[in-house]
Amino acid sequence: MSQDFGILEAAVRGQRCSAVPLYEHGIDLPVIEAIMGYDFSEVDPSTEAGFKQMWKGIIRFYDEMGYVYVPVELGVRFVAAYRNTAGGRGWVDEHSGPVKSWSDLENPDYWPDVEHAFAYDTFAEIAGLLPSHMKIIGGASGGPFEHASFLMGLENLCITVLEDEAFAERLFRQIGETIAGIAAKVAGFEKVGVYRFGDDLGYKTGTMFSPTLLRRYVFPWQKRVVEEVHRHGKAFLLHSCGNLEAIMEDLIEDVGIDAKHSFEDIIMPVTEAKKRWGSRIAIMGGIDVDFLCQSSPSEIKEHTKRTLEVCAQDGGYAAGSGNTIAGYVPVQSYLAMVEAVNEFNGA
């Protein structure tokens, strides 16, 4: 390999790189299967052999595609809030969740201690499969807002923060202490290059909580996680969807994030985000997923190169989609974007 993790770490820390590294929040298995010729339906990851086979295949894909990391986020073992569709995608009930009462907050089965709230051994096993030039970007999935909205349902959570402040404070404290405790342990893994979680805070025109409520309930716990990560000398990358313009100063100056991912053209093109905040944090990805789905490969290549000309000139940027290469993104569209990055780098 001509590159190792150092090139992406430099980008995340806002530095100019010899080439623009690739970054994706994730790439769905059907896309990986189509490119690599895999059939994961023949693999049973519940067995030790199947687990290693699947992860070795995923790592090989990222390596051969030119990524210097593998995204790995494992869930926190709070009470289950997800439901699964027939197609395998998880979803949560926006109206209600498993946490409804004080007795739920005090149920030890719902709130494992930090030592038992995360699959540390599984995470370490995946890390052990990586070649020397690659690292993990990830950690424990979900930030304080996402966990709270999943566990209560967004509707109930919004009512609760207005009608029962003591309950809301306790809920966020239990979530926050757990995810901060996990981060304190996982960020110390040698193979974790950058710690990351997703905490979607907004929609197209604003944030789902008011900035005032986010400052009270969410940002203090995000900050605790970032502080634990920084104690290990690692950078923190926040993946958060929606229009966050009203709270970007909070995220940069108070929470202390090092990098931001998830951009959507209808909200703010990544080129504009780079101009506004790129001198203070790293900007990751940004090729709009809807554009990838609806445009021709030639249009995608041209647009990607135009984006790189703006975003890559001062460093602190890694190229990729604005969110995730989901299973519905045409494979040729994804490959066109990657090819454009390679051509921009002179490969």
Alpha-carbon Rg for the chain in angstroms: 20
113 — phi, psi (to 5°)?
-70, 170
CA 221-146-94 angle, to 5 degrees, is: 145
pLDDT of 153: 96
Distances (CA, A) of 266 to 223, 243, 275: 29, 10, 17
**Joined tokens for residue 17:** 């790189």
Which residue reads 């974007």 in tokens? 337
The DSSP bridge partners found for residue 91 are 83
User: What was the pLDDT predicted at 3?
Assistant: 83
CA 252, distance to chain mean position in Å, is 17
Amino acid letter, 8: L
Taking only the tens place, the pLDDT of each residue in 49-106 is 999 999 999 999 999 999 999 999 999 999 988 766 555 667 788 899 999 999 999 9
pLDDT in tens, 313-340: 999 999 999 999 999 999 999 999 999 9
DSSP 51-69: HHHHHHHHHHHHHHHT-SE
Task: Tell me the helix, strand and coil percentages in the chain, rounded to 5.
Answer: 50, 15, 40
Q: What is the pLDDT of residue 89?
A: 67
Q: 257-311, pLDDT tens digit by residue?
A: 999 999 999 999 999 999 999 999 999 999 999 999 999 999 999 999 999 999 9
Residue-wise pLDDT for 105-149, tens only, equals 999 999 999 999 999 999 999 999 999 999 999 999 999 999 999
SS3 96: coil
For the chain, give every domain's residue range.
Answer: 5-344
85: helix, strand or coil: coil
Pairing of strands 235-239, 259-261: parallel
Q: Is 212 exposed, middle or buried (0-12, 13-18, 19+ CB in 10 A)?
A: exposed
CB atoms within 10 A of CB 231: 12
Q: Supply the pLDDT for residue 263.
A: 98
**5-344: CATH, from 3.20.20.210, 3.40.50.1950, 3.40.50.300, 3.40.50.12780:** 3.20.20.210
